[in-house]
Structure 1
């Protein structure tokens, strides 16, 4: 794949230097909780939902299986105070974890969307079971993880089974967003992501309620629960937009119940509502999608024989895409013998999270949660699997084959290339819209509305590429996105242009055999750079820009080798542009550290690793958590920094540079004071301090430091003593000091 040639290379902002990391600000006073940057407030706006609680996240932070075990790091005696921590864990967990979990999370975020259109009697039957949202709310959690293996064929006929496939159920009666969303509304979604993290972190990382001791953190899981929450929330922001079809319905469920007095007429009316009625999709959504008809039978009150006859009539009238779903209308409670708890929805938007209740990540109390009969759970799972395996997947495979043969092959041929050149230079041969538009672009793009109509070749090819991506045929999707990039640039469809560059690079990185040389990796970096520039400068789309940079960071990190340094640069770019809030700054600092820590040394040599850079960014993360008033997370970051710096430490565990040792001591002491003051203890009594920290090791270290100057006497020195001000006064000098260490 060649590097993009239809757009000029994008220069990074003046404040961003790829080789120089951002240095965190100096340590604040213990009672100073937040320090929001002006650029973040300008980008994200002031509409923050601070008063809305969050629903439980226990099912969404530890449900993915660990695919590969990581080797335990070299053990050494840490000099960082071991603070009591809550069940949240530390975002620095899993520095050398396998990347399969994060890759699976990214892939599952781009799942097919299935709309739900249920009759009034069906919703009423489900509400009797305790689901206020009706039939859509009942089946929504069961679509995110399809039981068993789903077999998918690619464009060349090869089949492969996937065990983590899923779909998203959406309510077609819900409000559809307009394509021209304001920049303020888009920025507020990032503020909501920060609010979700803030409320979740505040409800779990309370030092007074910590239930785990440091010994519980000797072996780390693969990924931080807090970072997985952030990544899920970021990937859940996207709604239905014209420039990408991932949130457009692939199919729709039309459901009636056995209580309906005119079932066939109701089904026809519901179909008409989705085709031309109040549930019709907008003009930029392709109206031809699969309809799947469901008859919900009431096991407690209706006759199964009558329902079977009606089901046979449905198959004769509407085809084989039908299903008979047998459910009980009585509400299930936890005391029932065959009760089963309803799984939690993993992919909830930040607004949905903020509108729920505050729950910790790990909660054994199940009061207030919905339950279903075991027979209902098995029936819904069988229905969802049949829908996906026998209807949705074959339909998508068929549409990709048809579009590839009828549209893409013509565009790839000599005649298609000639017509594309003619449209570019002469302004003719563009199909239904050959006239020049007001903006000077020629083609099918409607500048007045900002989108392509659903039947235009550009929109069909984008839908084909997205279908191939969701079917995990990344080779076909990458070639199709590459085919579209020049067309979108010629038409000045900048949001389409940015999306094509972004998803082309993502498809190449997800394809195991796509990247083989350094030259191709440079081309991927150029694609991400162009996409980020178009999102921010031409479209003012901060959420998609942050998604682009985050995907670049995680997928390049999973490649290993020299790609991890590019991943670290994209994470620094996101922080430099102010796309993340204070909590995001801490999380991204840790991801930069994780990227550098993943760089393995040259085979047979001791050089080539980036552990000192990783340790430096762990120190920056500790400072970020301390400014947020989270001493336990800051303590964990310092422990990780000491582990990464193990090769340069002296025999007594101190740094060879006195200035750097002083800086680490100041930060460590500030963490200790913050923790103790949160517990209401007197930090001037060293004996009480050692007992409060709860480890003999900390007591020994306090004894060794009795002759050192105490920072408690002068509280002004706590935030700015000596080298602690160095990173703010002279960034390059501080970076050089860390590198020499």
Structure 2
């Protein structure tokens, strides 16, 4: 950390400095109310069809700091997140690398380091002239979500790895977000999804073709939006440090009349002033100083002199950012549209804070000069690669040596048992409990948190830092170390959090083989986390997050984890953690889980395509109840593709009641579609509409088993509603659930 004092300049250690070349290491290391709650058990679903998720002060010496290689390209590094399919389980490191839109990569990027932004008044005024009413934070926010180029990170054993999807989350330290009740956040999530579906300008809310959803098992864009909003947490919490700032960017502009004094005042505001973080957030974190130069009105020579003074006073964690103060319009030759922020919370989408206030007759996103975009990207990369990542690596190394290693040793375990049963070293057991502290004496039962400098809080922060650096082996072992401590102190939200993140770390670790025993251990962790969140803490959003993460990551591991993934999705629906739209989305995800279970070595038995088709039909029914026949049509198309193996040569189900239910559902989807658009349905002529017959070569190849394929909307069926009350005596139904 750098401190703006008037005495001798404070300089960071050599390995911490952005401008000092690094020595190459020669060592090689290997309650939204449920409007239409579906039955969750498979048998119940079948019967329904038949009848109708502190840091301490920096005390490390130069010898303790990690040495980062200046030539990472000499090592074997990976380009992105590997997807673990069943074909790669024998050698997890040989898996396929996915793009940034992959679900697994999306989950990893949601736990990115948080960097606070605190700009001076003159800087915000300069940026507002460019059309960004939120100030400097709004300007740089989208550029931190995906740092350009490859970011090299070193793990706890010194091995380097490159990531092309690394990012940071910029937050505004100038104003704290409004804290909302936990139950209201789920209601906001449901309302944001409903707004997104109803928006005519949104591609999710307009006319959707079923063929857009036939690229199975590609995740629907609406579910990705749901997952992003679920993981976009605005308010930091005491029990986890993912939303605590790792660093802060203190910004002034070249217009400032007293720049050095302003920087010291801004630093004091974030350290002990009105911009100070809550008591359970440690105030000591990296400070990074930025000077914004106005290219249109100020002299670069004077700004360079000021920048040199900043480096002499505050160290090398400084940057000179050159921007134009004029507003860019679309007609400019070098205009460039800024990307949309990916991690918008439900409250932001509902309040419209993400919408720009300047209408440039575009799709809603403002423009910047190309030179500004290039300068901002270079600034973000330098901030992350040369300051934030080395700082986090250094903190993990120091905490691992000074705190974690002692707790893992025999003496640390002995002292832990002594405090637990005899109260040695921290007073008697009864006196600690009576005074409001936990068994360890560090947990404050009255306020519900640990102070940021106690070992339990330091270890949690170390584990979160390792997780954000994608060292999942170290994070899993540290979370495992903390589980018993939090349980003994009755810190139930902390207890639930470490169980959740320990399971997530084990699932993300590509070297952890998904054996049945390990899957059972992970399921037990998820069960404990869900129980603690719901029963002991009444924290529905975190319970939904834990179940959703478990579902997606178990699905990505394949094998026996697929059944567990579907089980956790059903649990989220059963607990009422998702609303009407969430019920339909989770039904689709359960279908995707079962559909990804393929036969082993070409054997016919072992797949779950019938179960997948059943849940896809259920999703179609839910979408129809929500008044969205387009999505219901897409779900029905997918269900018929999954059921293709059990249909006869005429494309009919061997179960008459199942065939009747699907025909009735298809007819209702078609009726709802045309009634919503005020169109008349004729038996002789079918009106032209965007959902006409999709007989193309692409869809024919995907549905080659259905030679009789018809459109779900443009082909009427002579059947009536959903009143299917007869018993099914067809023996073929016995095979419906058998796969």
- Mark yes or no: TM-score above 0.5: yes
Q: Which residue of 2 aligns with 1:246?
A: 242
Work out whether 1:441 is the aligned partner of 2:438. yes
Q: Which residue of 2 aligns with 1:588?
A: 586
Instruction: Find 2:721's aligned residue among 707, 710, 718.
Output: 718
Work out whether 1:258 is the aligned partner of 2:261. no
For 1:272 and 1:734, how far apart are their aligned partners in 2? Answer: 75
Q: Which residue of 2 aligns with 1:3?
A: none
For 2:388 and 2:733, how far apart are their aligned partners in 1? Answer: 54
When residues 256 and 190 of structure 1 are mapped into structure 2, their CA distance, relative to the original with a 3 A threshold, is same
Asked whether the equivalents of residues 51 and 725 of structure 2 are also in contact (C-alpha less than 8 Å), the reply is no
Instruction: Find 1:195's aligned residue among 187, 191, 195.
Output: 191
- CA positional deviation for 1:695: 3.3
- CA positional deviation for 1:320: 0.6
SS at match of 1:646: helix
Paired positions, count? 645
Counterparts of residues 304-703 of structure 1 (less than 5 Å): 304-356=300-352, 366=362, 368-430=364-426, 435-438=432-435, 441-443=438-440, 444-683=442-681, 685-689=682-686, 694-695=692-693
Asked whether the equivalents of residues 207 and 632 of structure 1 are also in contact (C-alpha less than 8 Å), the reply is no
TM-score by structure 1 length? Answer: 0.81
Q: Which residue of 2 aligns with 1:46?
A: none
Q: Which residue of 1 aligns with 2:218?
A: 222
SS at match of 2:562: helix
SS at match of 2:199: helix
When residues 140 and 673 of structure 1 are mapped into structure 2, their CA distance, relative to the original with a 3 A threshold, is same
SS at match of 1:603: helix
For 1:215 and 1:177, how far apart are their aligned partners in 2? Answer: 41
When residues 740 and 245 of structure 1 are mapped into structure 2, their CA distance, relative to the original with a 3 A threshold, is closer
Work out whether 1:287 is the aligned partner of 2:283. yes
When residues 675 and 22 of structure 1 are mapped into structure 2, their CA distance, relative to the original with a 3 A threshold, is same
SS at match of 1:639: helix
Q: Which residue of 1 aligns with 2:125?
A: 124
For 1:468 and 1:172, how far apart are their aligned partners in 2? Answer: 24
- CA positional deviation for 1:301: 1.1
- CA positional deviation for 1:341: 0.9
- CA positional deviation for 1:690: 7.1
Structure 1's unaligned 5+ residue stretches are 1-14, 30-63, 71-96, 712-716
For 2:99 and 2:47, how far apart are their aligned partners in 1? Answer: 28
SS at match of 2:673: helix
- CA positional deviation for 1:441: 3.3
Give the aligned CA root-mean-square deviation in angstroms: 3.6
- CA positional deviation for 1:174: 1.5
For 1:325 and 1:416, how far apart are their aligned partners in 2? Answer: 48
When residues 217 and 346 of structure 1 are mapped into structure 2, their CA distance, relative to the original with a 3 A threshold, is closer
When residues 196 and 564 of structure 1 are mapped into structure 2, their CA distance, relative to the original with a 3 A threshold, is same
Asked whether the equivalents of residues 50 and 724 of structure 2 are also in contact (C-alpha less than 8 Å), the reply is no
Work out whether 1:136 is the aligned partner of 2:137. yes
- CA positional deviation for 1:674: 1.1
- CA positional deviation for 1:69: 14
Asked whether the equivalents of residues 557 and 563 of structure 1 are also in contact (C-alpha less than 8 Å), the reply is yes
Counterparts of residues 136-215 of structure 1 (less than 5 Å): 136-175=137-176, 185-204=181-200
- CA positional deviation for 1:437: 4.1
When residues 735 and 498 of structure 1 are mapped into structure 2, their CA distance, relative to the original with a 3 A threshold, is farther
Once the two structures are superposed, what CA deviation does each residue of 1:374-395 show, in whole Å capped at 9, x if it has no partner? 1111111000100000000000
Asked whether the equivalents of residues 528 and 549 of structure 1 are also in contact (C-alpha less than 8 Å), the reply is yes
Higher RCO (CA 8 Å, separation ≥ 6 residues): 1
SS at match of 1:654: coil
Once the two structures are superposed, what CA deviation does each residue of 1:270-324 show, in whole Å capped at 9, x if it has no partner? 1111111001111100111000011111111111111111111111111010001
Asked whether the equivalents of residues 294 and 323 of structure 1 are also in contact (C-alpha less than 8 Å), the reply is yes
When residues 627 and 175 of structure 1 are mapped into structure 2, their CA distance, relative to the original with a 3 A threshold, is same
For 1:590 and 1:209, how far apart are their aligned partners in 2? Answer: 18
When residues 709 and 107 of structure 1 are mapped into structure 2, their CA distance, relative to the original with a 3 A threshold, is closer
Asked whether the equivalents of residues 501 and 528 of structure 1 are also in contact (C-alpha less than 8 Å), the reply is yes
For 2:250 and 2:479, how far apart are their aligned partners in 1? Answer: 33
- CA positional deviation for 1:203: 2.1
- CA positional deviation for 1:246: 0.2
Once the two structures are superposed, what CA deviation does each residue of 1:576-614 show, in whole Å capped at 9, x if it has no partner? 111111111111000000000001112141110000000
When residues 264 and 22 of structure 1 are mapped into structure 2, their CA distance, relative to the original with a 3 A threshold, is farther
Asked whether the equivalents of residues 19 and 569 of structure 1 are also in contact (C-alpha less than 8 Å), the reply is no
When residues 356 and 473 of structure 1 are mapped into structure 2, their CA distance, relative to the original with a 3 A threshold, is same
Asked whether the equivalents of residues 514 and 557 of structure 2 are also in contact (C-alpha less than 8 Å), the reply is no
Structure 2's unaligned 5+ residue stretches are 1-37, 53-78, 86-97, 696-705
For 2:351 and 2:385, how far apart are their aligned partners in 1? Answer: 34
- CA positional deviation for 1:672: 1.5
Once the two structures are superposed, what CA deviation does each residue of 1:161-219 show, in whole Å capped at 9, x if it has no partner? 000000011111212667xx7xxx11111111111111111225999996675666664
Asked whether the equivalents of residues 67 and 98 of structure 1 are also in contact (C-alpha less than 8 Å), the reply is no
- CA positional deviation for 1:326: 0.7
Asked whether the equivalents of residues 488 and 496 of structure 1 are also in contact (C-alpha less than 8 Å), the reply is yes
Q: 672-681 or 406-415: which moved more?
A: 672-681
SS at match of 1:428: coil
TM-score by structure 2 length? Answer: 0.81
Q: 553-562 or 125-134: which moved more?
A: 125-134
Once the two structures are superposed, what CA deviation does each residue of 1:536-557 show, in whole Å capped at 9, x if it has no partner? 0000000000000000000000
When residues 365 and 736 of structure 1 are mapped into structure 2, their CA distance, relative to the original with a 3 A threshold, is farther
Q: 218-227 or 602-611: which moved more?
A: 218-227
SS at match of 1:116: strand
- CA positional deviation for 1:354: 1.1
For 2:400 and 2:269, how far apart are their aligned partners in 1? Answer: 30
SS at match of 1:647: helix
Once the two structures are superposed, what CA deviation does each residue of 1:8-49 show, in whole Å capped at 9, x if it has no partner? xxxxxxx997765657978999xxxxxxxxxxxxxxxxxxxx
For 2:611 and 2:209, how far apart are their aligned partners in 1? Answer: 29
For 1:523 and 1:352, how far apart are their aligned partners in 2? Answer: 37
Asked whether the equivalents of residues 332 and 371 of structure 1 are also in contact (C-alpha less than 8 Å), the reply is yes
Asked whether the equivalents of residues 116 and 252 of structure 1 are also in contact (C-alpha less than 8 Å), the reply is yes
- CA positional deviation for 1:105: 0.1
Asked whether the equivalents of residues 515 and 521 of structure 1 are also in contact (C-alpha less than 8 Å), the reply is no
- CA positional deviation for 1:641: 0.8
SS at match of 1:161: strand
Asked whether the equivalents of residues 28 and 718 of structure 1 are also in contact (C-alpha less than 8 Å), the reply is no
